[in-house]
Amino acid sequence: MIFGFLNWVYSRPQSHLGMVALVVFACTLSSGCGESAQDKLDRFNFSRSTPDPEPEKPKAEPKPAEKPKPQPAPKPAPQPEAKPTTPPPVQPKPPATANNIPAANPNPAPSPAPMPNTPAPAPAAVAQTPGIAGAANRFAILQAMQLQPIAGADRQATKSRSFGLLSVIAQAMAQQIADTKTVPSSAPVDPQGRQLLSWRVHLLPYLGYDALYQKFNLNEPWDGPTNIKLSSEIPFVYSTPGVNDDRTSFELVTGPTCAAQQRRGNPVSALASRGLHKSVLVVEVADPAERTVWTKPDDLEFNPTKPAQGLTGWPDNSILAATADGVVHTIPVGSEDLLNRLFVISNSFDLSEMVASTPTVPATNTTSVQPSMPSVGPGVTPPATAGNDLDPSKLPLPTTIEIDAATLELSRLFQSDTREADTAQERAELANKLIQHAEYMKADPAKQCASLQIAYRFAVLAKSPILVKDAFDKLEARFQVDTGSSNMFIVRFGSQNLMNIPAHRMPEFRALAKTLLDNAISKNDYPAIDELIQIGTYYAASQDDKDLMEKLATLQKKTNAGKKAYETLQARLLSLDLPSLDEEGNLLVGKYWCVYRDDWRKGFQFLMRCNDERFQYLAETEMTDPIDPRVQFKIAQGWWEIGIAMSPGRERNGFLGRAAQWYTKADKNMADSLEKVTAKQQLQEFHRLTGIDDIPPL
């Protein structure tokens, strides 16, 4: 079979180089082989002069080749007589014998013939990046991708190539973020504050371009005498499909509100409110004028007044964007409001609001999953494609190639069970078997992960929420996966299949829904809040829990009021984390934290910098935690005057409620006086105006 393949190669000289490189690439990716790519290439000399190499001849021909070796031995001797003993005809012999030596040449190094058949950068880069896991694999994928021509000149063809390149960049950057716990900046500076080289240069070792990285002078600007010469050596991974120059279309989106800053790295903790899987870092710019020299510390600066700048121009009106977890998304360039919400990381945002389609892996050489192992149904995201939580106590998810290889083995092991799994009960039994099988695979993370993934999928097909939850719980306990999106699917899936949840397991789903609801409230994720309230109502109704249903109805009313206030803040691009120079905006944000989120301490940070002296005074006074009852009474009077002047609604009740809390505290500490009588009267008025009986303590 192999020799038939070689004969086919020899009959097609124009595809000779491409096929050689593809064979080398396949060898480098194969597991269980101790040879390097060069060693494997040396075993098969694809020289056209020897179309049918015989295994016997290589062993017989080295014997005469060994005779000239003793002759040059006297060369090192200092005697001049030794020079004439080495006749000139000896030098032409190596080229002559090299042309006659077939694949098993024991001395391939001096033979120049096989070298053009080998992609030179591949072994060098692979050999020089042993310390960064995955760099060699990424480089091999790029080498194979480079040998495959673009299918056409239209956007559909170039977009497919751009997706593959950006996927490799995103995965390398995700690993870099995991190692450094920092999001790289657009133009990193040295201790003296000088902007030197782009983040793209510093990512080279994670992409397998270590040899190129070693050429740079890291203490010199990008346009210095050494580094400017290297700008012409643009790596394939940064090249713009269909364009041959030193500029790239892959750029960070930077700005004060963005995940990536311009001069300083952003700690991962700064993305906690959004999460890595929702924070966009790298995009493919559409405007040719925005393309930049790949070594230059220059990227797409986000402009809140023109959020689509640099992103419009593609025929399908969409862009490719990579999030900090290493996943590439296709995002339509829609309204300016959605784009602002996307890039302002202080605001919670769900990518599903914009994502048109999110391919899970680029089109590279991977083993396909066997048809006997069903895929997840429409609208269901398996846990293996979720974001990375970067929990150092857990293992990273295995690579796609490892998962596919393990899936192939599992499909053979459970072949008979898979064929017979036609009913929901049989699929549930198979899912349970796979979950139990995963317990014995702890020594092999790839097989354990694949087993749990397949169990998860069969549990979905069986409409068994408890098995879906069990499979994911075990997966999440071992591997770094995004729990938020998967747990959201679990509670949603459970609400759609309530009849399949036993009564003794129902509290688990209710508790999970409550945890997600609290998390959504803390992140101002109002679409998720609305859905979780609805799901919680389903769970409560299934158990006839009227008390919980009433609480959820009250929460829904509060959510509706808070949603309007939050939309006002978003429309003005106001940060919920740090006060701005917009004093009126600080007043709006402060009110939001105090009234709608009941976090008065957080709100005071904004109110102290607002344009209303009443709020400034009350916030500054409360931050001192006064114990004097007269000051406490004065604070109560201040909030009461603010609240009573407002029209009925959530804000009025919120400020009157704050006043009632201070009246209650002052009343306990004051002696009989006119202020004490006034405090009691105001408390009675509060109950009458709001209908609220319970006043929580401060």
Tens-place pLDDT, residues 81-102: 444 444 444 444 333 333 333 3
Tens-place pLDDT, residues 33-49: 444 444 433 433 333 33
Q: Are residues 537 and 496 in the same domain?
A: yes
Confidence of residue 131 (pLDDT cuts 50, 70, 90): low
Q: Are residues 487 and 427 in the same domain?
A: yes
Which range has the worst mean pLDDT, 221-225, 303-307, 324-328, 577-581? 303-307
Residue 225 forms part of a structural domain: yes
Question: Considering 353, 376, 409, which residue would you say is the last residue of a domain?
Answer: 353
Percent of the chain predicted with pLDDT > 90: 34
Q: Which domain range does residue 50 map to?
A: 2-121
The larger pLDDT score, comparing residue 142 to residue 95, is at 142
Confidence of residue 406 (pLDDT cuts 50, 70, 90): confident
Q: Are residues 180 and 277 in the same domain?
A: yes
Query: Cα–Cα distances in Å, from 483 out to 470, 477, 501, 512, 569?
Result: 13, 10, 21, 11, 28
Tens-place pLDDT, residues 185-208: 888 777 777 778 999 999 999 999
What average pLDDT does this structure show over 50-67? 43
The larger pLDDT score, comparing residue 78 to residue 133, is at 133
Which range has the worst mean pLDDT, 91-95, 249-253, 393-397, 440-444? 91-95
Query: Which structure tokens are listed for 417?
Result: 């069970």
Query: Which structure tokens are listed for 323?
Result: 């999030």
Distance, CA of 364 to CA of 25 (rounded, Å): 11
Residue 112 has pLDDT above 80, yes or no: no
Q: Are residues 426 and 529 in the same domain?
A: yes
Residue 293 has pLDDT above 80, yes or no: yes
Which pLDDT value is given to residue 287?
A: 87
Residue 375 forms part of a structural domain: no
Average pLDDT along the chain: 77
Tens-place pLDDT, residues 420-457: 888 989 999 999 999 999 998 888 999 999 999 999 98
Helix 465-478 and helix 424-439, axial crossing angle in degrees, nearest 10: 20
Residue 529 forms part of a structural domain: yes
Q: Are residues 288 and 419 in the same domain?
A: no
Work out how many domains the chain is built from and give that number: 4
Q: Are residues 657 and 536 in the same domain?
A: no
CATH of the domain at 435: 1.25.40
Residue 366 forms part of a structural domain: no
The larger pLDDT score, comparing residue 458 to residue 6, is at 458
Which pLDDT value is given to residue 528?
A: 87
Residue 318 forms part of a structural domain: yes
Residue 139 forms part of a structural domain: no
Tens-place pLDDT, residues 655-684: 999 999 999 999 888 888 888 899 999 999
Distance, CA of 47 to CA of 74 (rounded, Å): 34
What is the CA 681 to chain-centroid distance, rounded?
57
Which pLDDT value is given to residue 391?
A: 67
Q: Are residues 333 and 395 in the same domain?
A: no
Q: pTM, whole model, 2 decimals?
A: 0.43
Q: Are residues 338 and 416 in the same domain?
A: no
Residue 6 forms part of a structural domain: yes
Q: Are residues 98 and 172 in the same domain?
A: no
Confidence of residue 390 (pLDDT cuts 50, 70, 90): low
Q: Are residues 106 and 196 in the same domain?
A: no
What lies within 8 Å, CB to CB, of 464 at 6+ separation is 424, 428, 431, 497, 500
Which pLDDT value is given to residue 353?
A: 65
Residue 335 forms part of a structural domain: yes
Q: Are residues 414 and 525 in the same domain?
A: yes
Q: Are residues 534 and 635 in the same domain?
A: no
